[in-house]
Structure 1
Amino acid sequence: MVNYKQKEATLRGPGYEAKVKYWMPFFGNIGLHDAPWRSSFGRDIYLRNGTHGCVNAPLYLAKTIFENIDEGTPVIVYKE
């Protein structure tokens, strides 16, 4: 579930620090956020340019989700 929502967050981990406008964690430090450093999303991008576990979204989509999701909303993640 979405643990909380935060605007203007800085995500940190081993070897990286990333500023995002919309942060919605749902499993520890794993969550959904915008990814301004990406120029494309979807398809098979994860095969050559993955994430540290998060779900990256374009800014417009992260903003729309942020504005329409509540804390506590269940999140279902499918793995192929």
Structure 2
Amino acid sequence: MPGARRSLALRHPHGGLREGGSFDRVSTDFQTARAALGARLRELRSEAGFNGKGVAEVLGWQYSKVSRLETGK
């Protein structure tokens, strides 16, 4: 329809509008996934017999990068 305006409101994946157009659920899902990835990386590192500094050295990274990945930051 000419001249019709489209709503810029954010829509929930299941069709509903999010209250205030917030990204709260998406942000929470992302944070949960990041924390789960960090826990899995830490588990794999431990099983391989490495400490954080050892992984950083092998990969050529700073230890702080490994730490941030494992803590989900």
**Fold match, TM over 0.5?**
no
**Which TM-score applies when normalising by structure 2?**
0.25
Higher relative contact order (CA 8 A, sep 6+): 1
Q: Which has the higher helix share?
A: 2
**Which TM-score applies when normalising by structure 1?**
0.24
The structure whose Rg is larger is 2
Q: Which has the higher strand share?
A: 1
